[in-house]
C-alpha cells in the first residue's frame, strides 16, 4: 500500500512538473482587485449587505466562491462645484463610505479584515481571511483641505485618485464635463493644490493614482512624485482609443518610475460597440423616466430590476467584450510596460463586468484567459497582485511620516 501511494504521489508530481505550472489549474498565490465600488447605502440597505447580495457584483460570498482574496473598496464622490458648499458636501459623502466600509469590517470580522500594509494582506490570506483595502476615487472629496488627506490615511486609505469625470481643484480630467463648465482638454495639468496632495501622499505613504487624470496631469505627477505611482483602473489606448485608457508612452513612463498600471474590465474601455452604446443610453433614459428622474442616476436607478433585466437583453443582443479581449489588453500592456508593471482591476459595481468575468464568482475565468495568452504562473502571480503589493511596499518604505496604525 505504501509503495503504491508513494508511486502515485511521484506520478502526480511528475505531471505537475511536466506541465510547467507549480499550481496549474489551481489558485494563484494571491488575487487582488484594485477597484471595487460601493453604493452609498452599502451595509445599510439589505440589498447591499457585504456578506451576500443579489445585486452587488462583489460580496464576501462571491469573493470566496470565485477565489478573489483582496479588494480595494472605493470611497468615490461624484464631481461637483468647486465651492465651499460643494467641498463640504463631498467631504460628508466620503465620510458615509468610510463609515460603511468600517461597518462591514465590524460586522464580519471573522471573514474580512482591513489591510493597511502589504504584509497584512499576506497575513490575512495565510489566516484564511479576505482583505479589504481602501482607495479614494476623486480627490475632490478632500474638500480642498490637505488635512483631510491625513484623515483619509488614518481611516485606512492607501491610494488617492486625483480626479474623476470632470476637472477638479487638483488636476484636469481625461473626460471634461460640459455640464460642470469644463473647457475642452488642454495642456493644463496639475494645480498647486494637487501638487501639495502628491507631496503629502508621498510623505504619508499613500499611493498616488492617475486613473481618470488627463495626460498632462499624468506627466506632471510623474515629474513631481518621489515614489512610484499607480493607475488603479485604466486599459490600453493603443487597442481602444478612449481618453480613459493610457497611451503606450504613458504606460512606459509609469513603468520607468517603478509604478504599476491596473488594466480594467470595463466593456467600453476594451472594445467599441456602437449598437451597444446606443442601446445602453436608450435603456438608461427609459429607466430614469419611469423612475421620475430627469437623468439616469447609477446610485438610484442602476440597481432597479428594470435596468438589470434590460442590461441582460442588451448583453444578449450586443455581447460585451470577454475575458479573452481583456487578456489581450493585458498582454499588450505587458509587452509595452513589462510584466512587473501591470495588474488587474474589475471596477465591479462601478460599471465593470465583461463576458466571463461578470462578477467576483467568475474570477478564475480571467486566470484561465491569462494562461491562454501564454502567461506563466510567475507572470500571473505578478499580475494578480504581486506587482501592486511591491509598489505599495516601496511607497510605504519611502514615506517620511510614520503614523500609528501604519
Contacts for 275-282: CB closer than 8 Å, 24+ residues apart = 275/317, 275/318, 276/314, 276/318, 276/320, 279/314, 279/317, 279/318, 280/311, 280/314
Q: Scan for cell 482587485, then name that residue.
A: 33
| Sign of CA pseudo-dihedral 389, 391, 397, 403 | negative
Q: Scan for cell 510614520, then name that residue.
A: 402
> Residue 235 in 3-state DSSP?
coil
CB 24 within 8 A of CB 16: yes
Angle at the Cα of 385 from the Cα atoms of 126 and 266, rounded to 5 degrees: 130
Q: Scan for cell 503606450, then name that residue.
A: 248
State which CATH number among 3.50.50.60, 3.40.50.300, 3.40.50.2300, 3.20.20.140 fits the domain covering 28-271+321-398: 3.20.20.140
Q: What is the pLDDT of residue 7?
A: 40
CB 160 within 8 A of CB 136: yes
CB 48 within 8 A of CB 41: yes
Encode burial over 351-363: b for 16+ CB neighbours within 10 A, e otherwise: bbbbbbbbbbbbb
Q: What is the pLDDT of residue 277?
A: 85
**Nine-digit cell string for 185:** 482638454
Q: What is the pLDDT of residue 22?
A: 46
Q: What is the pLDDT of residue 405?
A: 46
Alpha-carbon 314 to chain mean position: 25
Rounded to 5 degrees, what are φ and ψ at 175?
Answer: -130, 85
Q: What is the pLDDT of residue 19?
A: 35
Other Cβ atoms less than 10 A from the Cβ of 241: the count is 10
Cα separations (Å) of 220 from 39, 78, 216, 334? Answer: 32, 23, 6, 23
Q: What is the pLDDT of residue 21?
A: 43
> Residue 166 in 3-state DSSP?
strand
Q: What is the pLDDT of residue 90?
A: 98
**Nine-digit cell string for 323:** 475575458
CB 210 within 8 A of CB 231: yes
Helix (H) / strand (E) element for 2: namely helix 2-19
CB 228 within 8 A of CB 391: yes
Q: What is the pLDDT of residue 3?
A: 35
Other Cβ atoms less than 10 A from the Cβ of 12: the count is 10
Residues in the chain predicted with pLDDT less than 70, given as ranges, are 1-26, 185-186, 402-406
**Average predicted confidence (pLDDT) for the chain:** 91
Q: What is the pLDDT of residue 402?
A: 65
Q: What is the pLDDT of residue 187?
A: 74
Q: What is the pLDDT of residue 6?
A: 38
pLDDT tens-digit readout, 210-259 = 999 999 999 999 999 999 999 999 999 999 999 999 999 999 999 999 99
DSSP string, 131-143: EEEEEEE-GGGGT
| Sign of CA pseudo-dihedral 328, 332, 335, 337 | negative
CB 205 within 8 A of CB 234: no
Cα gap 7→46, rounded to integer Å: 53
Amino acid at each position: 500500500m505504501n509503495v503504491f501511494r508513494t508511486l502515485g504521489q511521484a506520478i502526480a508530481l511528475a505531471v505537475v512538473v511536466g506541465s510547467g505550472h507549480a499550481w496549474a489549474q489551481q489558485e494563484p498565490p494571491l488575487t487582488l482587485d484594485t477597484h471595487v465600488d460601493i453604493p452609498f447605502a452599502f451595509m445599510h440597505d439589505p440589498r447591499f449587505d457585504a456578506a451576500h447580495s443579489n445585486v452587488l457584483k462583489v460580496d464576501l460570498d462571491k469573493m470566496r466562491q470565485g477565489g478573489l482574496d483582496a479588494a480595494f473598496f472605493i470611497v468615490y464622490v461624484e464631481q461637483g462645484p468647486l465651492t465651499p458648499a460643494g467641498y463640504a458636501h463631498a467631504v460628508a459623502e466620503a465620510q458615509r463610505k468610510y463609515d460603511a466600509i468600517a461597518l462591514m469590517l465590524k460586522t464580519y470580522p471573522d471573514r474580512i479584515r482591513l489591510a493597511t500594509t502589504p504584509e497584512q494582506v499576506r497575513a490575512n490570506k495565510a489566516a484564511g481571511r479576505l482583505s479589504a483595502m481602501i482607495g479614494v476615487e476623486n480627490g475632490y472629496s478632500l474638500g480642498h483641505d490637505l488635512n483631510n488627506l491625513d484623515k483619509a490615511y488614518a481611516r485606512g486609505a492607501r491610494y488617492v485618485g486625483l480626479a474623476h469625470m470632470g476637472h477638479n481643484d487638483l488636476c484636469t480630467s481625461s473626460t471634461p464635463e460640459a455640464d460642470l463648465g469644463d473647457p475642452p482638454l488642454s495642456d493644463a495639468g496639475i494645480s498647486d493644490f494637487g501638487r501639495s496632495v502628491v507631496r503629502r501622499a508621498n510623505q504619508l505613504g499613500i499611493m498616488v493614482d492617475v486613473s481618470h487624470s488627463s495626460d498632462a496631469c499624468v506627466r506632471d505627477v510623474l515629474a513631481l512624485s518621489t515614489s512610484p505611482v499607480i493607475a488603479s483602473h485604466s486599459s490600453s489606448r493603443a487597442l481602444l482609443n478612449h481618453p480613459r485608457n493610457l497611451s503606450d508612452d504613458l504606460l512606459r513612463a509609469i513603468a520607468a518610475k517603478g509604478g504599476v498600471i491596473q488594466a480594467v474590465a470595463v466593456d467600453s474601455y476594451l472594445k467599441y460597440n456602437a449598437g451597444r452604446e446606443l442601446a445602453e443610453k436608450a435603456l438608461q433614459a427609459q429607466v430614469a423616466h419611469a423612475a421620475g428622474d430627469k437623468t439616469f442616476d447609477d446610485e438610484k436607478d442602476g440597481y432597479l430590476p428594470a435596468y438589470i433585466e434590460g442590461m441582460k437583453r442588451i448583453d444578449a443582443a450586443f455581447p460585451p467584450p470577454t475575458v479573452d479581449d481583456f487578456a489581450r489588453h493585458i498582454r499588450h500592456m505587458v509587452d509595452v510596460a513589462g510584466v512587473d508593471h501591470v495588474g488587474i482591476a474589475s471596477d465591479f459595481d462601478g460599471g465593470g463586468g465583461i463576458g466571463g468575468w461578470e462578477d467576483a464568482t467568475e474570477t478564475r475565468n480571467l486566470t484561465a484567459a491569462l494562461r491562454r495568452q501564454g502567461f506563466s504562473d510567475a507572470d500571473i502571480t505578478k499580475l494578480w497582485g504581486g506587482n501592486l503589493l511591491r509598489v505599495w511596499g516601496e511607497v510605504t518604505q519611502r514615506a517620511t511620516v510614520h503614523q500609528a496604525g501604519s
